[in-house]
Amino acid sequence: MYISFKEMKSTVLAAVLSALLVKASPIEARAPSDFDTFNFALTLEHVEVAFYTMGLNNYSQADFVSAGLPDGARNQFVEILEHETAHVAFLENLLGDRAVKPCTYKFPVDNAKAFAGLSQVIENVGTGAYTGAIGTLSQQYVTGSASILGTEARQASLIAAYVNNVEGWGNAFNIPLTKDQAYTLAAPFIVSCPESNPPLVDVHANPPLTFPSNSNPGDTVQVQFTATTDASLYAVFLFGLDQIVVPVEDGKVTIPRNLAGQVYCIISSSADGVTDETTVAGPAILQFEYTLEGDYIPNH
């Protein structure tokens, strides 16, 4: 069960690499408004709807079961697609004719097991995006967004624990992602968007960062990114509400020992942590999974 996870992870990371070439929407510079944030959220919800629609068209009940997934897995994905479709309708209702239309998409999976693995990654990123964005919204929109956030987090945990048989959280706090961080992770799935779509405001994909697929907490590993400066750089691990900063030395990073679940690493020019302004590359996704009995599952 866990092998395809790692395969899936390296394909996700490879896809992130190719993100460089993808510019899903032109960028417009002005202060983001609530509507800009809704269109950003709608951009991510469209990715999710496309992913589940495609996956459910691709894989039958027999495909899910013969991939070793539980009998109820496919039906859970059917219900998750219903939720995502409702989230799209909710955001479209708020946005009216400002709403971005769906794009065309590609996903680096071709079997039910890899699909289930990538769904866990995507739901975690979606949950992180809502967690990060909610504080930028006007008060009247916070409850609706928190309501979607809660559902995305339930989906992420259900897919992890029930479908993929691993723990559904990292620690007591969900990781907030900035729009740039979430978009960097979603952009590889977006092939092209209708020209009539309004541009995403103040949202950019960062350059890619990759870790070896056999990275584990406590390891010192060589990371891949393009440095544009000779100045000291830092690897910032996002874990719960914490930013754990370690130096980058000769392209090597020592992964903190206490990490668990889906965590993110970003290369920053600041020893104080990371903001969009100090970001050099990433985020990279790291998965440090535990069995439901609480035993660490090493990445090989």
Ligand X SMILES: *[C@@H]1O[C@H](CO)[C@@H](O)[C@H](O)[C@H]1NC(C)=O
What are the residues binding ligand X (CB under 6 A)? Answer: 51, 54-55, 58, 107, 109-110, 115
Written as one letter, the residue type at 289 is E
Torsion of CA 130, 132, 137, 142, to 10 degrees: 50
Give kind and range of the element (H or E) at residue 238: strand 234-239
Helix (H, G, I), strand (E, B) or coil at 244: strand
> Any residues with CB less than 8 A from the CB of 144 and at least 6 apart, and which?
90, 94
**Residue 119 CB, nearest distance to ligand X (Å)?**
9
Of residues 82 and 110, the one with the C-beta less far from ligand X:
110
Side-chain-side CA neighbours of 250 within 13 Å: the count stands at: 2
Contact 52, 80 (CB under 8 A): yes
Contact 16, 185 (CB under 8 A): yes
Of residues 81 and 94, the one with the C-beta less far from ligand X:
81
Contact 213, 47 (CB under 8 A): no
Of residues 8 and 266, the one with the C-beta less far from ligand X:
8
**Residue 82 CB, nearest distance to ligand X (Å)?**
17
Of residues 114 and 280, the one with the C-beta less far from ligand X:
114
Of residues 11 and 174, the one with the C-beta less far from ligand X:
11
**Residue 7 CB, nearest distance to ligand X (Å)?**
14
**Residue 245 CB, nearest distance to ligand X (Å)?**
36
**Residue 107 CB, nearest distance to ligand X (Å)?**
4
